[in-house]
Amino acid sequence: MPVRILDPQCVAKTFPDYFETLFGVVRANVEDIPVITIDGPTASGKGTLTDEVAQALGYDVLDSGALYRVTGLAASRHHVDLADGEAVAALVPTLDLKFESGRVLLDEEDVSAELRQEATGLMASQVGAHPAVRRALHQLQLNFRRLPGLVADGRDMGTAIFPDAALKVFLTASAATRAERRHKQLISKGIPANIDSLRADLEARDARDKGRSASPLQAAADAIELDNSQQTIGESRDLVLSWWQERGPFKA
């Protein structure tokens, strides 16, 4: 029977590291650790929604889209030949990787900005072409399933990585809405952008992701589709949390 702690702050003064200590010694069957998956096309807001839901629940986060970029970056830093798939794959289990509040930490260093660079994207494409790397990253993603729970975002989290997740969300938004969001994001960072070109690029990427042979972009058969074109992030978060209340370990 699952146990719910109603006031986790009760240990804040006397034992502030209580829960970290508890989860360090507790052993659980992997299949019993709760998982929420949030899949969807690029620029749909799944990363932001994942962070919001995970923060509300106190769960860990997996940003699967960043994994190939992190792997390419780490291989480059360790002077591993990116053309050597086996060597890059051997590096994957050693990665000290965390996702916190929208940041990606590699060896405790915030590498979020580096991951957005074009050069890192090229390295990601290079290492992602190796079957050995894809297998290693598949296992790495599974390893993120740990107590107290996980919210995972990507394109195949609910179909290929965590098919047994208790709640699967497929997040969508119109191409026009996604292009507008991406345009605002780039402009706010001082990066020039054309909204029509962004929309065309998003639509082309959608077509590629849906048509690829390995883990194509598609909703899991038991996923709930959420179109957030007209919703705030808070409204989307609250809706997902209400679904989790209905399906999770502590059903209403």
The percentage of the chain sitting over the pLDDT mark of 70, rounded to a whole number, equals: 96
With left for phi above 0 and alpha for psi between -120 and 50, is residue 190 left, alpha or beta? left
Q: Tell me which residue has tokens 């729970």.
A: 149
Specify the DSSP element, H or E, that contains 152.
Answer: strand 150-154
Q: What is the CATH number of the domain that holds 99?
A: 3.40.50.300
pLDDT per residue as tens digits for the range 86-105? 999 999 999 999 988 778 99
Residue 171 lies in a domain: yes
Q: Tell me which residue has tokens 């997040």.
A: 171
pLDDT band of residue 172 (cuts 50, 70, 90) is very high
Residue 84 lies in a domain: yes
Instruction: Tell me what pLDDT residue 126 has.
Output: 86
Measured in degrees and rounded to the nearest 5, phi and psi for residue 100 equal -140, 120
Instruction: Tell me what pLDDT residue 1 has.
Output: 60
Residue 12 lies in a domain: no
First to last CA, the chain: 15
Instruction: Tell me what pLDDT residue 2 has.
Output: 65
Cβ atoms 146, 33 nearer than 8 A: yes
Least confident of 24-33, 62-71, 93-102, 123-132: 24-33
Q: What is the mean pLDDT of the chain?
A: 88
CA gyration radius for the chain?
A: 19
Residue 6 lies in a domain: no
Residue 132 lies in a domain: yes
pLDDT per residue as tens digits for the range 183-214? 887 888 788 888 898 898 888 888 877 877 76
Q: Which domain holds residue 193?
A: 32-242
| Distance set, CA 134 to CA 78, 92, 213, 234 (Å) | 19, 10, 14, 34
| Distance set, CA 140 to CA 33, 41, 46, 76, 146 (Å) | 16, 22, 20, 19, 12
pLDDT band of residue 6 (cuts 50, 70, 90) is confident
Alpha helices in 58-174 (DSSP H): 67-77, 85-91, 112-115, 118-128, 131-143
Residue 143 lies in a domain: yes
Cα gap 37→54, rounded to integer Å: 11
Residue 207 lies in a domain: yes
Cβ atoms 40, 178 nearer than 8 A: no
pLDDT band of residue 151 (cuts 50, 70, 90) is very high
Structural domains counted in the chain? 1
pLDDT band of residue 124 (cuts 50, 70, 90) is confident
The percentage of the chain sitting over the pLDDT mark of 90, rounded to a whole number, equals: 47
Residue 2 lies in a domain: no
Q: What is the token pair recorded at 119?
A: 């050069």
Q: Is the pLDDT of residue 250 over 70?
A: no
Q: Is the pLDDT of residue 127 over 90?
A: no
pLDDT band of residue 39 (cuts 50, 70, 90) is very high
Sheet containing 103-106, strands listed edge to edge, beginning at the edge strand earlier in sequence = 97-100, 103-106, 109-110
